[in-house]
A = this chain, B = another copy of it.
Amino acid sequence: MCERINGGKTTVYTRPLARLIEQFQRLPGIGPKTAQRLALHIIKRPEEEVQALARALLEAKKQVGLCQVCFHLSAEPVCEICRNPQRDRETICVVSDSRDVIALEKTREYRGLYHVLGGVISPMDGIGPEQLTVQPLVRRVSQQQVKEVIIAVNPSVEGETTTLYLGQLLKPFTRVTRIAFGLPVGGDLEYADEVTLARALEGRRELD
């Protein structure tokens, strides 16, 4: 980071600036040029603005945990979706990640609850059902009044494995469906547009 010039003692960035650039570079998708640009921007902003960003970082990290029921990100022990009396409590949509909950919520098509697995089954990476929130899902489905479980994981090999596995596991208790392949195979649920996602929800079919 502190590149040295001609063997002299001068560094390109003054220390605190170099440290900030280094910190920015640790963020995903931020390269050296962007990190420098962000750091120089920060230095030019009023102190209150920089404090607001620092505070938001610390508070988000400190306050946001996982919902005890569905494992979605939440600042409370039970998330806003699980607590909302207007949601349909007899439908659970199973996703691999909190980002997928956010993407589905943006469609404004879905009124049920969620269950965040925390990943997909991937034996190559050592991820089996024990590493995911499969057991709490089975408990929810077997102990509560659940009419339908909609499986909405990415259409990858691991996603297919996960879908089939969960289908076998949950069919004794309830109806199990999966979202339709409205999204391009090999694509990422997080990046699908809202219309495509809404259609995928509509066209869901029984697991056979």
Contacts and interface: CB of A to CB of B under 8 A. Distances in A.
A52 B25 CA distance: 13
B87 A56 contact: no
B54 A10 contact: no
Contacts of A86: 6, 8-9
Interface in A35-65: 36-43, 45, 47, 49-64
Contact of A61 (B14, B47, B61, B98): B47
A5 interface: yes
Contact of A87 (B10, B13, B111): B10
Interface stretch (A100-108, A121-129, A151-159, A161-169): A100-108
A64 B105 contact: no
Interface size class of A (residues with CB under 8 A): 35 or more
A56 B24 CA distance: 9
Contacts of A40: 73, 98-99
A26 interface: yes
A42 B73 CA distance: 12
A68 interface: no
A193 to B, nearest CB: 12
A172 interface: no
Contacts of A185: none
19 contacts: A6-B108, A6-B111, A8-B84, A10-B80, A10-B81, A15-B75, A16-B60, A16-B62, A16-B63, A16-B75, A17-B75, A20-B56, A20-B60, A23-B53, A26-B49, A27-B41, A43-B60, A43-B73, A45-B61
List the 10 closest pairs (A to B, CB-CB), nearest first.
Answer: A20-B60, A54-B54, A50-B61, A23-B56, A16-B60, A16-B63, A20-B56, A14-B75, A23-B53, A8-B86
Interface of A: 3, 5-6, 8-17, 19-20, 22-24, 26-29, 34, 36-43, 45, 47, 49-64, 73-76, 79-81, 84, 86-87, 98-99, 102, 105-106, 108, 111
